[in-house]
């Protein structure tokens, strides 16, 4: 894959934030934002959860109505992912990443 400048910025974010903040990739449509986010997740984390909100089920979207308990949120996401795709490895704290894609309708979302 063609390595973009934003990849270096994401590496810097990972090192500096230690998983305590979210990163947001902004830009025009169809320039590779989703591709670079997923490539970063694959290369830099042991596991990741990719959520495309434009096609996510109501059950997944409903999880983001109340994000006061992030442990519950991630456990539920892992459960749903495991049911949908065998071989999914658990997304562990500090070793995993959540990638939200097309989150237009979500008011409050925290990914780390």
CA torsion 35-38-39-42 (nearest 10°) is -160
Mean pLDDT by 10 residues, the chain (112 residues): 80 90 88 90 86 85 88 86 55 58 48 45
Q: What is the pLDDT of residue 103?
A: 53
Question: Is residue 93 assigned to a domain?
Answer: yes
- Whether the CB-CB separation of 108 and 65 falls below 8 Å is answered with no
Relative orientation angle of helices 33-44 and 5-17, to the nearest 10 degrees: 50
User: Domains in the chain: how many in total?
Assistant: 1
The parent domain of residue 73 ranges over 5-101
Q: How many CB atoms lie within 10 A of CB 67?
A: 14
Q: What is the pLDDT of residue 16?
A: 94
Q: What is the pLDDT of residue 26?
A: 87
Question: Is residue 57 assigned to a domain?
Answer: yes
Q: What is the pLDDT of residue 7?
A: 93
Question: Is residue 35 assigned to a domain?
Answer: yes
Q: What gap in Å lies between CA 105 and CA 95, rounded to an integer?
A: 28
């Amino acid at each position: 894959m063609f390595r973009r400048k934003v990849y270096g910025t994401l590496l810097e974010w990972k090192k500096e934030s230690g998983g305590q903040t979210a990163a947001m990739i902004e830009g025009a449509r169809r320039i590779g934002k989703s591709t670079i986010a997923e490539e970063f997740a694959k290369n830099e984390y042991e596991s990741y959860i990719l959520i495309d909100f434009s096609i996510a089920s109501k059950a997944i979207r409903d999880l983001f109505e109340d994000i006061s308990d992030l442990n519950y949120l991630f456990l539920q996401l892992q459960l749903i992912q495991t049911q949908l795709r065998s071989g999914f490895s658990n997304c562990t704290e500090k070793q995993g990443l959540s990638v939200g894609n097309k989150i237009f309708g979500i008011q409050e979302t925290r990914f780390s």
